[in-house]
A and B are shown apart, each in its own frame.
Chain A
């Protein structure tokens, strides 16, 4: 089955440690996104990538880093510079980032809940 996988579902880290969240998709989608969600809040965009080896900062990129070495993978590293890293992290992808189509549904993964102790 095609889809987006994120692992692990729950992650615990000590304060001051860097941690990398995995996001893989087998949908052959061009664009991938990372969002952060805090309790009772909407999603906020961290980083996005429209093609391999290219990515742009979203609204809250400070303290995070990403890479896009392969089309199907877009890992997110939460660094020790991120002041409040405990949150629910969601990865998404879209079929055609460079299309004039009006319709580009974003497909979301199941999310990773990160808790920093």
Chain B
């Protein structure tokens, strides 16, 4: 699976949009971009995933560049509950093996 690079930490004011970048310059054509987040001392939680097109769900939006070498997770109106570590993961859509490779992620702190 392709490696990802994320900033170690970011701050965002409450109520503003939080934009979390992720570089995955070695991504291949059949690899998807997944985002999970982990609130302190809890298990990670799935947020969103995408292949080529931008995606949006009730939690966030995912913007993938045309060359697919980077992406941005957008939390449109950040709240204090969004303070967490956010993991960007790239994985193949293989038959069978579903393991995820977690890096160190971005620690997002929402400032009141």
Contacts and interface: CB of A to CB of B under 8 A. Distances in A.
Partners in one complex: yes
Interface of A: 4, 31, 33, 35, 40-45, 48, 50, 58, 88, 90, 92, 94, 97-111, 113
Interface of B: 32, 36, 41-46, 49, 51, 87, 93, 95-105
A106 B101 CA distance: 12
B99 A43 contact: no
B96 A50 contact: yes
A97 B100 contact: no
B interface majority secondary structure: loop
B96 A43 contact: no
A104 B102 contact: no
Given A102-B32, A103-B49, A42 B102 contact: yes
A109 B42 CA distance: 8
B103 A100 contact: no
Given A42-B104, A102-B32, A102-B93, A33 B99 contact: yes
Contact of B51 (A33, A45, A94, A102): A102
A97 B99 contact: no
Contacts of A94: 98
B98 A104 contact: yes
Contacts of A33: 99
A48 B99 contact: yes
Question: What are the 10 closest A-B residue pairs judged by CB atoms, nearest first?
Answer: A108-B43, A42-B102, A43-B102, A102-B93, A105-B46, A42-B104, A94-B98, A42-B103, A104-B98, A108-B44
